[in-house]
Each structure stands twice: as C-alpha cells, then as structure tokens.
Chains A and B, each alone.
Chain A
Amino acid sequence: MYVPVSLDDALRYLEENPTDTFPIAGGTDLLSRINRKQVSAKNLVDLSGLPELRYIKRENRTIKIGALTTIADLEGQQENSAWGELLYDVAKKFGSPNIRTVATVGGNICAASSSEDLIPVFLALDAKVRTIRRRGPREMSLQEFVVAKRKTALDPDELLAEVSFTEPNALAACAFEKLGMRNTLIISLVSVAAFLERDQNRSKIERARIALNRLRGKIPERAQSVEKEILGQKLDAHTIKTAGELLEKELALTSDYRASAEYRCEAAKVLLRRALVQCQQRILGK
C-alpha cells in the first residue's frame, strides 16, 4: 500500500506503477471484493486522506463534486434545490449509515456496475467527469466514462477527480426511486433516476433525462428512446403513462436468482412512472 502525501504524489505513483495498482478511497466495494478473493490487494494507493478532492461547490451554474466526497457528505448537505434533494434522496437510501461514512462518490462511479446508485443519478443530471493524471486532465461525459461492467475509461495512471453537472434551473425537478428486497442495505433490483424540465409556459416537457440501473446490459444507461418520445409532450398523466409503456420496448433485462426479467421490467415501468410523477409534482409545486 502506498500512502501519497499529496494528489500529485498519488498521480506520480500511479504513473510509475501502472500494473495491478488499485486506488482505494472508502474501500467499501474494493475491500469487500478483496475479502471475497475477487481482487488481490497487491498494490493499493490510499486516497482517503487527500482533502483536495472532497468538496461540493457551485461555480457559475455548474455544480462540482469532488471524487472523494463521501455519501455522508451528500446526505449532510442542506441544498434546498432540485439537485440537492436528489442527492439527499439517493444518499439516504445508500447502504447503511456505517457505509456512508467512508464510501465516496468516486468510488461508487468507478465500481461501474448496476449496483452503484450514483451512476444513474448522475446520468440523469447529464454529468461530466474530469479525470487527472500527470500528462494532463481529461473531460468526458459520464456515459463515456462508464464503459462496461467493472470497467471505466480510466487509464492506469489516471484518477477520477470530479463529477460536475449544470445546475438544474427553476423549471426543472429530479427524482430517484429504488427497489430492493428489504428497506436498507440492499443491492438495487431496479433503480430509476429522472430529470424533467418544463418549458416557460409550464405545460410541455423541454428536457427529459431518464436513467436506470439496468437497461439492456449490465451497467446503468439512459433510456434515450423514451426521452426523445416525451420531449415536447404535455407534462401530464397521459405522457407519464406512455413513458412507462415506451420503456418496456427499450428494456432488455435478464432473469437471475434474485428476480425474473419480466418482474424487473414491470418494476422498472412502475418506478419510472413514480419518478416522473414526483418530478411533475415538484415542478408544479414551484
């Protein structure tokens, strides 16, 4: 294990040791996998003590969240806004209080699987990620960053530094719905994050972003066909119902011992409807 004295030091170490090196922050995913022998703990780089990457800030109209921001930080922020509520919602349902203390935004995103609740949430916020390495930073959409199950676009010498998104305006609202086998400490069977923005006249949908923990594969994705279809439609019960039906066409889920594909599909439709209704209520409430 290497304990870097600064962010720069961490990047230097990664550059010099590209093979089998695992950055560790909260460790809630990585250590569990090491314990189950899925990953070997040969070279760990401990990022937990680096304060530079732990922040939630607003710069102009962009919200920026450092990769080492903990889930407890998200739960503790008092932002009385669409994005603040959304992040509070997802944080409250994340793991357990014990997990939230150390689990990080970056750790969750880099785990890159359908169990990671923050990914659909940030997809719905149309988030970008910024990575850093000694040869220079990169920026890309979150979609591009999460490549496949357990695989991100990170090069071996690179770290995820920040997630950012444009602050939703007063015409927008977000919601997050999650379904598991009990009320807490669960692997989501289905989770849905939704973002809706209405037009100036308060009647039609100007922007829509819908992300699920699973759509067609093993990682979270946006339901872009559904988004396209509801754009420009009235923000009413009929549109919301249609969205659910359209989702069914876009879904290609698989069955496993936890639940069948049919049930996951049915649940996804219901959760989408509920998330959209919540967005609608939050918009109308403003």
Chain B
Amino acid sequence: MTEAALVQKLREAEGLVLIGKRLQRLDALDKVLGLPLYTSDIVPKDALRVKVVRSTVPHALIKRIDTQPAKQMPGVMAVLTAQDIPGINEAYALLPDRPLLASAKVRCQGEAIAVVAASDMQTAEEAADKVSVEYERLLAVFSPVEAMKPDSVRVHDSGNVAKYLRVRKGDVKEGFRQADVVIENTYKTQFQDPTALEPEVGMAWLEKDGSITCVGSMQTPYYVQTGVAKILGVSPDKVRVIQATTGGAFGPKSDEMPVDTCAISALVAQKTGKPAILAYSRQESMIAHTKRHPFVITLKTGAKNDGRLTASEALVVSDTGAYASLGPLVIIRACFHATGPYVVPHVKTDAYCMYTNNTMAGSFRGFGSPQVHFAAECQMDELAKKLDIDPLHLRMKNILRPGTLTATSQLVDEACGLEECAARATEAANWRAKRLEFARDSGTFRRGIGIALMYHGNSLGPEGNDYAYVHVLIKPDARVVVRTALTEYGTGAISGLAQVAAETLGLPIHLFELGQPDTASCEETGPTVASRVIVIGGRAAQIAAQKLREKILSVGGDLLRCEPSKLTIKDGLVRHTSDERRTITFQNVVEECYKRHVSLTETGYYIAPKCEFEPESSQGTTYHQYTYGAVVAEIQVDTELGVVKPLKITAAYDVGRAINPLSLEGQIDGGTIQALGYGLMEQLIHTNGIVVNPTLGDYYIPTSLDIPELQTIIVEYPGPVGPYGAKAMGEPPVDLPAAALANAVAHATGSRVFDLPLTAEKVLLGMKRKP
C-alpha cells in the first residue's frame, strides 16, 4: 500500500472526510485570474498621494524642520509634522519607545519626520525634497555587543537594554566539571529583509459621520485600529480597519509599519477631508520596516566522551535597532530555545535584546528560532568533531524524547516526533553513505552533507494571551461564510479554518466562502502571528462550527422526527445513521432554520491555557506544544571560489496533524527557500547605520534558478492544543536550513564559517585559514 493510500485509510478509520485532504485553497481561482484587489488596486480617484520625509542620518537631534517651501508648492494639500498630531504621537508595537513622527531626535535612518500629501505622486515627491531638516549629529552605536558596554552611546535615555531574561537550570559549574570536553564558540547572524513582493501600503478616508476607515496591507487589523485611534485622538470605535488582500507579510506587517501607513494616511484624510494613500517604494520599505534580528551568540558546551551533554552556557545578544518593536518577545523565544532540542541537565542562558542606531528589527518568521538553531546546531557539529562522533549519532544520544526535560524543565509529552523526523530525514537522504562518500571527494568540487534538528514552541506561549474568535455563518442559500480578524497573506491558513469548519459540519468545501477581515464585523482576535491560525484559530472555528452543527441537527431532528444524536451530516444531506430513508437536504434544514428564526451565525472563542513558569529562572511550561523537525542539506563547494551550490534538502517535520498536506507542503517549500536565502545570499548591510543595499538588485533573494531538489517528509504526532492535533507550521520551516547548510559546508571543506550568510568569500577564506 502506498503511503498516500495508508493515510487515506487511517483518515477514513477516524471518520474524517476533509482533514488531511489535499484541497484547493478557496481563493485559488481568483488568484490565477489576477482578480484579488490589493490596496493599491482600489485607490479612490480623488485620493491624495503621500510621501514621507525620512531621516538620512542614524543618530541626531533635530534642530529645525522647514516645511514652508513644500507647503507653497502648487498641488500640495498638506504638510504635517509631529505638532499636527491631534492624539498621541506614538507608534510602537510593545515598548513605548517610538513616535510616529520624530520631532526632537532621530535614532536611525529612515525615521518618519514629515509627511507631504499632494494630488499626484510626482508633486508629493518633489515637495518632500523641498522639506529641509537640520540635524545636530550625535555619536552612535551600531553593534549590539558595543551597546552592552557601560560607556556606550545611549540610544534611549533608559539605556540600551530593551529586554533581558535568563534560563537557569541546575548548576552549570557542576555541569562543566562533569564534562570531559568543553568547547566555546561565537556565532553571528545578519539582518534579513522580509521582501514580501508587495511593499507596505495603507489608505484612509473619512466617512460621512466623521469616522475613519483604513484599508491596508497588514497582518493584524486590530493593532492598526488601536494605533490609529491613539494617534488621531479618537476612540477605537471611530476607526474601522479592513485588511485588503495582502501580498506577503512574514511578520513585519504585524509590527509598526501598517500602523504607520494607515495612521499617516488617516492624519492626511482628517486634515484635508480627502482620501489618502501611503504606498512605500521598495527602497523606502527596505530601510524603514522591521527585519530579522541579527544575533551574536556565544555558546559554551560541555559533554562526556560518549557524547552526553552535561552543560550549556549561552550569551545570546540581539540587535533590535533604534526601536524595540517585538524584539523583547523575539529574545524570549531565542532564550528558551538556545540549547537546541536536547536534554541538557545544566543550563545557563543570558539573553539581551539591545538597542543600537541601526534600523529596526522586529517580527520575522521564526522569531529568534533560526538564529539560535544556527548557533546550537553548528555547535553540535563542532562537538561531534571534537569527540570524533558522527553528528547524527551525537544528536540521537541527546535529543528530547517523551519523558525528558527541556532547558526550561518542561516535561516533553508523547507528542514528540523528533526522533522519527531525524531517522526518516537521514534515511531518505542516505546520510551514512553520503557522509563517507562525500568525504572522499577530492579536486575542485567537494560535496558535503549536514544535519540540523529543531524544536519550536507553538503559538504565543509566554508572549501574551493566546485566543481567537472565528465567526461561522450559514446563509439562506446554504453557503457557509467563515469570517475572522485572523488574516490571510499567503499561508492558506484561513482556507484551513474553513476546512476545519467544513469537517465539523460535515459539508463539502465548495460551499464555503471567506469573509474579509474587518473590525466592523469581526471580533478582536489577537494577532495573526506565531503560526497560530490553525492551532488557536482552528479550535475557535471548530467551536463555532460545532454550535452550528448542533442547531442544524436539532432542527433536522425535528423535521425527521428523531433524536439529533441519531443524525449525521454528509454529502449535503442530513440523514439518520441507521435508516437511510430518513433524509433531508442540508439546504432544507437551513431554510427551516431561517423560517423559525433560528440564528445560523455563531462565534467560536478559544483561549489556550496560560503558560506558567518561574520568571527568574524561566523554569516551567513555556509553550503548550512543540513542532519538531530535522533537515539534511547536501551541497557542493567550489573550493577555488568558495561558491556553495545547494544540491538537495531533505526535511522531515512533526506537524501534529496535516490539515491540508498540499498547503502544508507549500509552507515548507517557501520557508525552506526563504531560509536558503538566509543561509547563502541574503544580507541587508548597514555601514555606520546607513543601509547600503536597499534594493532588490543588490539584496539577493533566491530565484527559480537557485533552488535545490527538495524532499519533504510529514510525520504526525498529534499535539494537545490544535484541532485534530495540528501543530504550528507557518514558521518552523525557516528554522533549520541555514544551520544544515552551514554543517554541510563544514563537512565539505573541513573548516567552519561561524556567521551567516555563507558567502563564497567567507567559505574561501575559511578554507585558507585552515591549518
């Protein structure tokens, strides 16, 4: 029996119809016809175009802003600065450290200082050029390690530490005493740009009643509502926010930028009475929006000769740039996962999120996990080399298994498929044989094979209240609408919610439609981040759908004169489970419900239990379930040029339950390549705080000609939280490829590159340095 057939059989045994099926997304047809309307596609004819005047220096006092020459230009309808903000001049994701418009000081390149609105973009740009800003430059700090020094330049008055936390488990001194070998290394990672194909854009207009409507490219409409209301000085119920079709997000569109674009547009709309749109240019986007945090991670690891880990000491430092954004939460995830997915009896991790005068870092798919896994997994290979043990064997000796404890002393439950992931990925990649075969390569081109393992705490964990609201309603024509303020931006997760609802209701998927995320009709539901749509939103969708199912069966039971418990819904029919003649169409039951004024709109609410852990030592339950994974990378190094050519990636993930394997593969495909870019070619470079390559011609993401062969293996160990045991899979695919590639390169060349990306220059220099 093929694997697919086996999966089908298991599903049927469970009575599942849609879960696990490779269903087409609900928005597929519209997308291939080019029909979805993104924000820039629905601009009202009379909308003003907005251009932002941004800081050109990384750290300075603002002495003077002269907007007069701009104001006087014909066609210019408004020129705004901080003093024109009627509400509170604040636009921050977490810590109250950031204004919408700078007035006294700028702390990084690209800070918004003034806003010009004109009837057309060219006029707005010309007028913006005429706004002059006089700076008094200040000394600046551009390295997070420098920023930790007591005599460092202060980015904020409160100091440079945006967040500090630690893990203390056991006693590392004792752990290192027990060790036969101890190794210590420092690893560095770079700024990665999200590079969503659609740059940031937000639009706003005044309604007749004076309220504001905002439409934009975003992940979290309610963050925008709160942020815009505060800036405008109105109550949130006077601000309606609608997410337009969003062309990629990856995290940063849940941070400050959507608030910026919508609030600035709203200010202009409020001031002029006309609609206004702020669409970033790509260059502006790459400078201003949040990026992946660069990290400097020093790991000291102790182990016995047989490979058992005894101690891990880590100093984890992130560069969050001039404003914290979600840096304080990224550092938490990084801190908790810094050891990698291993049993380590003694752990000491100190993690700092540092301010610098670089541009902002914030949310980005993976959220600290790719960075610490790069360090932890390179370290495991270095340890393997020191101990002369095969890297897979070393890992298998130490991996988390059911019944073991994580670095935060959380007991690993039965839903841990890490071992199977490692076994199946290495088997499929032919690990053992290739380790030996590639080591025999000589000549110019040498191949290497490397492995990396991970665990990824699901959803928000310690980051906040983890809840969701999903509305499901059945229309008179028996079509079903799933509506929520959780958002779609490429993941297919919202279609996944419909799939879960459809399974619960026993209905075919073609009856389902997705509503638009709109604060006017969708309950506030927390952010669409942390890969939590299926896990948390899915539970809420199930609850809503279950309530509807009960109503349908109740009315159906009435019509068929039997107990609702004797009825089932299948293939568009409500039928008696043992008497086939007692059947009625779903449509008929719906009509009857409407006749009887039985409401067919239900809201499902689900909140995950709180994560409880000791704040000083971080010991306790940090996440309620974990996704696990193993990635094997095969590469070829051109030893004369240092160029790394990726040959094949084999990725195995314990996904809990694959709701839609087709969409899931899409997430793994995309995440793997995004991480490939992170590992081999992407680096947003600041020189003295100025981004030197803010264009797609000079910042390289992978093209279709850069991709290796990819084999994906899905493993299912159902978790306790998500519907049918589903685990988070939006982010985990970016955690490991860079680490696996680094280990493969080290295998091929015999020398290690300790920082990302693995450019040809670094690889070549590394080989030359080798004794």
Contacts and interface: CB of A to CB of B under 8 A. Distances in A.
B762 to A, nearest CB: 9
Contacts of A32: 697
Contacts of B680: 182
Contacts of B687: 257
A267 B764 CA distance: 10
Contacts of B700: 181-182, 186
23 contacts: A32-B697, A36-B283, A96-B703, A181-B681, A181-B759, A182-B702, A182-B705, A183-B703, A183-B705, A184-B703, A186-B700, A187-B697, A187-B698, A257-B685, A257-B687, A257-B693, A258-B698, A263-B761, A263-B764, A263-B765, A267-B641, A270-B640, A270-B641
Nearest to B640: A270
A181 B642 CA distance: 11
Nearest to A185: B703
A187 B697 CA distance: 8
Contacts of B765: 263
B706 interface: yes
Interface string A201-218: 000000000000000000
Contacts of A181: 681, 700, 759
Given A179-B641, A182-B706, A266 B692 contact: no
Given A36-B283, A260-B761, A263-B761, A183 B685 contact: no
A53 B702 CA distance: 36
B643 interface: yes
A259 to B, nearest CB: 5
B681 A184 contact: no
Nearest to B639: A270
Contacts of B697: 32, 185, 187
Interface in B720-771: 759-761, 764-765
A183 B706 contact: yes
Interface residues of B, number: 24
Interface in B646-696: 680-681, 685, 687, 692-693, 695
A156 B698 CA distance: 31
A181 B705 CA distance: 12
A236 to B, nearest CB: 18
A259 B703 contact: no
Contacts, number: 47
A183 B765 CA distance: 21
Contacts of B764: 263, 266
Interface of B: 283, 640-643, 680-681, 685, 687, 692-693, 695, 697-698, 700, 702-703, 705-706, 759-761, 764-765
A257 B692 contact: yes
Given A182-B702, A187-B698, 7 more contacts: A36-B695, A181-B700, A183-B705, A257-B692, A259-B759, A263-B761, A263-B765
B316 to A, nearest CB: 26
Nearest to B677: A182
A192 B457 CA distance: 49
Contacts of A186: 700
B336 to A, nearest CB: 34
B759 A184 contact: no
B159 to A, nearest CB: 30
Interface in A152-177: none
A185 B703 CA distance: 9
| A-B pairs with lowest CB-CB distance, top 5 | A263-B761, A183-B705, A270-B640, A181-B700, A184-B705
A184 B707 CA distance: 12
A182 B679 CA distance: 12
Contact of B681 (A36, A182, A259, A263): A182
Nearest to A189: B760
Interface in A8-54: 32, 36
Contacts of B702: 182
A116 to B, nearest CB: 14
Contacts of A266: 764
A261 to B, nearest CB: 11
Contacts of B695: 36
Contacts of A257: 685, 687, 692-693
A270 B639 CA distance: 10
A36 B284 CA distance: 11
A209 B706 CA distance: 32
A32 B698 CA distance: 13
Nearest to A180: B700
A75 to B, nearest CB: 15
Contacts of A271: 641
Contacts of B681: 181-182
Nearest to B696: A185
A267 B702 CA distance: 22
A190 to B, nearest CB: 9
Contacts of A184: 703, 705-706
B703 A182 contact: yes
Interface string A250-286: 0000000111100100110011000000000000000
A266 B765 CA distance: 10
A179 B764 CA distance: 14
A232 B98 CA distance: 69
B645 to A, nearest CB: 9
A275 to B, nearest CB: 13
A260 B768 CA distance: 15
A36 B694 CA distance: 11
Nearest to B707: A183
A263 B761 CA distance: 6
Nearest to A190: B641
A266 B697 CA distance: 24
A183 B680 CA distance: 12
Contacts of B692: 257
B761 A259 contact: yes
Contacts of A260: 761
Given A187-B697, A263-B765, A179 B705 contact: no
A179 B698 contact: no
Contacts of A187: 697-698
B760 A179 contact: yes
A260 B761 CA distance: 8
Nearest to A269: B640
Interface string A79-101: 00000000000000000100000
B222 to A, nearest CB: 36
Contacts of A96: 703
Contacts of B698: 187, 258
Nearest to A271: B641
Nearest to A184: B705
A179 B759 CA distance: 12
A64 B702 CA distance: 37
Nearest to A179: B641
Contacts of B693: 257
Contacts of A36: 283, 695
B489 to A, nearest CB: 25
Nearest to B699: A181
Interface string A83-127: 000000000000010000000000000000000000000000000
A259 B763 CA distance: 12
B771 to A, nearest CB: 19
Contacts of A182: 680-681, 700, 702-703, 705-706
Contacts of B283: 36
A186 B696 CA distance: 10
Contacts of B706: 182-184
A258 B700 CA distance: 11
Nearest to B125: A37
Quick one: which of A179, A184, A187, A263 has the most chain B CB within 10 A?
A263
B718 to A, nearest CB: 39
A92 to B, nearest CB: 11
A179 to B, nearest CB: 6
A251 to B, nearest CB: 16
A234 to B, nearest CB: 23
A96 B706 CA distance: 13
